[in-house]
Chains A and B, each alone.
Chain A
């Protein structure tokens, strides 16, 4: 059986294209302004509104005071949510997509903010985006990142594995083995693509669309194989920080967050990626924080009992303090024309406005960095919320992506200026 001519030509074209895959010139970063980046962090169990939100007309609150050192570098928002996104914890997988009714049996997710950004600004990097988490095995979305197909992108929970993929080169033998694997993978893809072409003849017209997805998937995997050949032959950046050890204890969620923040800074600094998402789940975790003895999700259903609220507050304050450290890391990393924080938009928020009542309205949201005019509390209507996706439109525009719409947005966010 001979390979159809069309396939031979396509394969050769891809090979040739692979050799020319545009990879960023190593010295480019020094020649002009550093690239713009995006980091989106999700706190699935929310933050108690009475301590997070500033009172009307103010910009500080008990939690925001923990970020006092960076007051001029972030803005806080109230009165934002995704219209139609309900379903309490299910909304976690919609935090960056805005797809409505996640709890319903007919729910289909959609492309997330970070993946759109990655498509547009991430293709020059070894990793168009990084999807990270401190904890796998959640029932409601470990990962914020969702592909165009509406499929959640699995998140990496191991700092060690992440470090190795970013900074540790394989030995020549490993490289050779990888290239062989890629070649073998390519042969398999050739075969199944050909099978699909034949298979198509027996498929009813109404079913063609499903088979088309299969075709597209095979083609995209082929493209990725070609790009990975190119990257396999590129050296990885060198960093001073040593390889981290994974923390085994699931309750050390604050330490795990800190470890991930360190790696995010390194990844951005070395331009290994420009788009990162991170999920900071505390489900089924008794965080190792002084004064905390109970599991977090149970505490968030405090039923207004003062002892539970006090205990939960310890956890949430520890999380805010850890986030302050991320801002510190980014602010102190100098680049041409400013700091890493100036060039990186950091979104920090939750899909739950009130974990006790499972409300998905009035979400706690902070945006830091990215060169916006910060230091503000942008307060929107608490009864008729403004779409959170409006903030996403502003963020995309700031990344240099020409768009005026994302998911359920009605335009860019009023009052947020660059």
Chain B
């Protein structure tokens, strides 16, 4: 019964004569059925028996394939004689009209978008916004989302399982723990300036000779750099290794170095997380203001001299995990011989420890401080810390905003256990010990064992109703009726009757809200009314916009345009899109879209071989990710033309990336726009290290992987998967053969060449870039080869050799040739419409959470044609206004 409308339309289409015997069959009979008949059935396709069956999705997909192969000129194949052009055009027009009609009818019936749950990232962002928490780390609790076409926003990839519901509940509990205030007064503020010489590991490292004490930008005479005993090569005999230590220890005590306010210069990168720990660990979670004064220098065997600008980071390590990973708090420049004060605010969880790491330094093999040499004889760059300051937790209001979102302005007071009331759970207040001694902070006894306080309500049911009504509006992203609020209030009442205190009873209700289907699911329906609320479809549209451009819930201003109906006016929609793109929350879209469209997540998947790629370390890794995101940001902000994706004429760079790309004159860690000389392969996606790394496997490149990426991500013409019988190539990095030579064996086979003629060309051009995105004219090898010109000229140790030459030339399927990657990007740049349609197709998958269907093609074409100058921002606006986003 439901399908009747669709069925009637399909019958009409069939009746209009598309069945066997009409125009396509004639064309097929003349040009196709020699290969595609019932006996030969080339590629499994029998065109003599192919009729259009509208309800059959597989049949429809076959027809789409037939249309596309003919339209691209791939079929019929070049030999024998091709059909006359007007015949082909007529056929394609006929097929196109029929397929569009069928698909349009299907969409009108069942919509192109299905109802779906929130993705992991959306869930986390929504909790952060609802609770006004600057940081919440719950994604790891949730099972990974499935993807369709590379996007996690598509309904068919987003299952709901018991594991999901259980994980959602746990994630909400974590958010509640972070948001709810457990004190009537703010926690005490800890503020301190810390000088490095007295820090735990710093003393030992100063004694050992890895670090040096510096005053007024020169070695501090009260504690000279460690040295002596070295032989001609700079090594120390084992018997002499510790001979000077007793004297150094004595000097350290005598001159009270631990109390010195001098700077400390670090000459090696961090070995383990705690080597340069700041010995500070917050007792209370919250926002902290952190400041550090640091500078770079060149250490020349005991003298401080000017050198290149350096870079350092501050990281936070989870309690007990000082040796692993850590999360980045801030990356900053340490300019040469100039103390730079860097200040920022960051959320710190309780008991995280803070660690300094001079990330621009490299191991040069000779580890300073041990038998391999001492600071006195060392020559190389260094990073110095003058001091470090911490202040917090910062609470401009009390209780904090996050608490007020849940409990309004209800008072917090002492908990009284009347009549068997169960007390709320509290974490003990503590500071961590062990090798990270006290953080110079004395808690008063009252602070150490604070009284049990909790939010008080004199009229719990009324308060619950008020708080939950406000919260539900935000959580469900639309107005709510009294009937919808009532069950949650009833839950609170029930828990109070079971002797929960008000805080815990409300917690249950909030968990229930945030695991309810109205919260978890994005309704598909924009055109009908899910609930009896005015302008329901505009609220759905508002959510679509915000979950696209902010990857999170709409704010009050956007919801207001839904409530008053103004969002249906084009100029208001346009203004809101601009407002969303200007808001800092757009970074969540840029980051997530880059992860999905460009596969940027995969940059983290491989660790390049340190012998072949010694220059690859944190600073380069961080820089390449920042480059691609900054690039997208720049393109959107300036409405850059779509061809900028491949030939922008500029690159977003910082010092490390510029060094990696051979661009001079860029200093510091900040990303900035740098104009490139004409003919530079850099700047666009195909010249960005992140893209080049994620399409390699860490140690070797493969033209196939890169070619597949280009076809799918840049051109939206994904290559089919390899046939199952194909063997993998066995990479050989001993320098004897190149991967291009190894691949040729495949390409010379006619059945392989069909796909590889399309896949390989871009991959061959990109062979000009190694697995970490560096430009190369010869392959690096660990076996045979010549000494590279950069040997002994870099800040890192070069042990690889140069092997065979790179051949980056190729030929596109249409016959156009290129000799290098610059010429290839030129060729791509000549077809902006193709790039724009591909971009809009990918963007629509992300924004609307649905695959691009046949009937969408004309709409995408219309969007592309109406975007002035093919500007990327204009394309975004075009998509926002189109029926792809506006309708189900």
Measuring CB to CB, which residues of chain A are less than 8 angstroms from any residue of chain B? 1, 83-84, 86, 88, 101, 104-108, 139, 147-154, 180, 183-185, 187-188, 191-192, 194-196, 199, 202-207, 210-211, 213-214, 216-218, 220-221, 224, 248-250, 284, 294-295, 297-298, 301, 303-305, 354, 356-359
Min CB distance A195 to B, Å, is 5
Q: Contact: B731 with A303, CB < 8 Å? A: yes
Interface residues of B in 467-496 (CB under 8 A from A): 483, 486-488, 490-491, 494-495
Contact across chains for A150 and B524 when beta carbons are under 8 A apart: no
Whether A185 pairs with B169 at a CB distance below 8 angstroms is yes
**Contacting pair A214 B783 (CB below 8 A):** no
Please determine whether B605 and A139 come into contact, CB atoms closer than 8 angstroms.
yes
Chain B interface residue count, CB cutoff 8 Å, equals: 79
Residue of A nearest to B141 (CB): A154
With an 8 A cutoff between CB atoms, is B525 at the interface? yes
Contact with A along B687-708 (1 / 0, CB 8 A): 0000000000111100000000
Shortest C-beta distance, B384 to chain A (Å), equals: 30
Asked if B728 is an interface residue, CB under 8 A from chain A, the answer is yes
Given A191-B491, A210-B160, A217-B162; A204-B730 close (CB under 8 Å): no
Q: Which residues on B sit within 8 Å (CB–CB) of A199?
A: 517-518, 521
Nearest CB in chain B: distance from A212 CB, A: 9
Taking A184-B495, A187-B495, A204-B524 as known contacts, 7 extra A-B pairs with beta carbons closer than 8 A to each other, sorted by chain A number, are: A106-B148, A152-B143, A154-B163, A202-B523, A210-B160, A303-B700, A303-B733
Given A250-B324, A298-B610, also A356-B487 (CB < 8 A): no
Contact pattern, B 151-167, Cβ under 8 Å of A = 1, otherwise 0: 10001010111111110
Check A297–B724 contact: CB distance below 8 A. no
Question: A205 to chain B: which residues have CB within 8 Å?
Answer: 2
Q: B531 interface residue, CB < 8 Å from A?
A: yes
Tell me the complex Cα distance, A83–B723, Å.
11
B817, CB-defined interface residue at 8 Å: no
**Complex interface: chain A residues within 8 A of B494 (CB):** 187
* B161 and A217 contacting across the interface, CB-CB below 8 Å: yes
Q: Which 8 pairs show the lowest CB-CB distances between chains A and B?
A: A303-B733, A149-B161, A207-B115, A202-B530, A357-B730, A213-B160, A220-B162, A357-B728
From A1, A139, A150, A196, B490 is in contact (CB under 8 Å) with A1
CB distance from B728 to the nearest CB of A (A): 4
Pair A105/B149 contact, Cβ less than 8 Å: yes
B487 / chain A contacts, CB cutoff of 8 Å: 1, 191, 194-195
| A192-B169 Cα distance, complex, nearest whole Å | 12
Neighbouring B residues of A151 by C-beta, 8 Å? 143-144, 159, 161, 163-164
What would 19 A/B residue contacts be, using CB atoms closer than 8 Å? A105-B150, A107-B146, A139-B604, A147-B163, A184-B498, A187-B508, A191-B488, A204-B524, A205-B2, A207-B114, A210-B116, A210-B160, A211-B115, A248-B320, A295-B607, A298-B607, A298-B608, A305-B733, A356-B730
Give min CB distance, B754 to chain A, whole Å. 19
Contact of A188 among B110, B160, B162, B508 (CB under 8 A): B508
User: In angstroms, how far is the closest chain A Cβ from the Cβ of B765?
Assistant: 23
Bound CA–CA A203/B608 (angstroms)? 49
Nearest residue, chain A, Cβ from B159:
A149
B515 interface residue (CB < 8 Å to A): yes
Residues in B with CB closer than 8 Å to A183 are 498
Q: A195-B517, A203-B115 are in contact. Are A248 and B321 (CB under 8 A)?
A: yes
Q: From B111, B157, B606, B727, give the contact of A206 (CB < 8 A).
A: B111
Mask of B611-622 contacts with A, CB within 8 angstroms, 1/0: 000000000000
Instruction: Decide if B111 touches A188 in the complex (CB within 8 Å).
Output: no
Q: Complex Cα distance A147/B163, Å?
A: 9
Task: Give the residues in chain B near A1, CB-CB below 8 Å.
Answer: 483, 486-487, 490
Residues of B within 8 A of A214 (CB): 160, 165, 517, 520
Contact among B144, B164, B517 for A211, CB-based, below 8 A: B517
- Residue B304 CB within 8 A of the other chain: no
Judge if B734 is at the interface, Cβ distance under 8 Å: yes
CA distance A305 to B699 in the complex (A): 13
Q: Is the CB of B165 within 8 A of A195?
A: no
- Alpha-carbon gap, A86 to B149, bound state (A): 17
Whole-angstrom distance between the Cβ of B697 and the nearest chain A Cβ: 7
B40 at the interface (CB under 8 A from A): no
* B146 CB contacts on chain A under 8 angstroms: 107-108, 150
In Å, the complex CA distance between A210 and B508 comes to 25
Q: Is A188 a contact partner of B524 (Cβ separation < 8 A)?
A: no
With a cutoff of 8 Å between Cβ atoms, the chain A residues found around residue B144 in the complex are 151-152
A105 touches B148 (CB 8 A): yes
Question: Which residues in window 589-616 of B have CB below 8 A to A?
Answer: 604-610
Cβ of A22 to closest chain B Cβ, rounded Å: 21
**Chain A residues with Cβ under 8 A from B604's Cβ?**
139
Minimum CB–CB distance for A244 against chain B, Å: 16
* B19 interface residue per 8 A CB criterion: no
Q: Which of B161, B608, B730 contacts A354 (CB 8 A)?
A: B730
**Chain B residues whose C-beta falls within 8 Å of the C-beta of A217 in the assembled complex:** 160-162, 164-165
Is B438 at the interface (CB under 8 A from chain A)? Answer: no
User: Closest A-chain residue to B518, C-beta based?
Assistant: A199
B675 in the interface (beta carbon within 8 A): no
Q: Are B323 and A249 in contact (CB-based, < 8 A)?
A: yes
User: With A105-B148, A149-B159, A357-B730 given, is the CB distance from A84 to B724 under 8 Å?
Assistant: yes
A192 to B321, CA, bound (A): 38
* Nearest CB of A to B300, in Å: 31
- B516 is an interface residue with CB less than 8 A from chain A: yes
B62: CB under 8 A from chain A?
A: no
**Within residues 518 to 564 of chain B, which ones have a CB less than 8 A from any CB in chain A?**
518, 520-521, 523-525, 530-531
CB-CB under 8 A for A188 and B512, given A105-B150, A204-B524, A213-B161: yes
Asked if B413 lies at the interface with its beta carbon under 8 angstroms from chain A, I say no
Contacts of B517 in A (CB 8 A): 192, 195-196, 199, 211, 214
- Could you say which residues of chain B place their CB within 8 Å of the CB of A206? 110-111, 114
Q: How far is the CB of B869 from chain A (nearest CB, A)?
A: 31
B416 contacts the other chain (CB 8 A): no
Is B782 part of the contact surface with A, judged by Cβ < 8 Å?
Answer: yes
Q: Which of B143, B164, B517, B698 has the most CB of A within 10 A?
A: B517
Complex CA gap A205/B147 in Å reads 23
Give every chain A residue within 8 A of B151 (Cβ-Cβ).
105
B422 interface residue per 8 A CB criterion: yes
Interfacial chain B residues near A184, Cβ < 8 Å = 495, 498, 500, 508
Are A248 and B164 in touch, CB under 8 angstroms? no
Q: Which residues of the partner chain A approach B523 to less than 8 Å between Cβ atoms?
A: 202
Q: Which residues of B contact A106 (CB under 8 A)?
A: 148-149
Nearest B residue (CB) for A109? B146
Q: Is the CB of A150 within 8 A of B515?
A: no
Once the chains bind, are B515 and A284 in contact (CB under 8 Å)?
no
Interface contact B508-A153, CB-CB below 8 Å = no
Residues from chain B with Cβ under 8 Å of A86 in the complex = 721-722, 724
Q: Find out whether the CB atom of B728 lies under 8 angstroms from the CB atom of A187.
A: no
Q: Tell whether, in the assembled complex, residue A301 and residue B508 are in contact, meaning their CB atoms are under 8 Å apart.
A: no
Using A106-B149, A248-B320, A357-B729 as known contacts, say yes or no to A204 and B525 having CB atoms under 8 A apart.
yes
Alpha-carbon gap, A83 to B518, bound state (A): 41
Which of B2, B511, B531, B730 touches A202 (beta carbons < 8 Å)? B531
Contact in complex: B143, A221 (CB < 8 Å): no
In whole Å, how far is B395's beta carbon from the nearest beta carbon of chain A? 30
The residues of B that contact A154 with a CB separation of less than 8 Å are 143, 163
- A202 contact set on B, CB distance < 8 A: 523, 525, 530-531
Please state if A304 and B734 are interface contacts (CB–CB under 8 Å): yes
In the bound complex, how far is the Cα of B168 from the Cα of A217, in angstroms?
A: 12
Q: Given the complex of chains A and B, what is the CA–CA distance between A249 and B517 in angstroms?
A: 42
CA of A358 to CA of B146, assembled, Å:
23
Q: B162 to A224, Cβ gap below 8 A? A: yes
Q: Is the CB of B161 within 8 A of A210?
A: no
- Quick one: which of A191, A213, A305 contacts B159, CB cutoff 8 A? A213
**Residues of chain B lying within 8 A (CB to CB) of residue A139:** 604-605
Residues of A within 8 A of B728 (CB): 88, 354, 357-359
CA–CA, A356 to B697, complex, Å? Answer: 11
What residues on A are CB-neighbors of B729 within 8 Å? Answer: 357
Q: Is the CB of B490 within 8 A of A297?
A: no
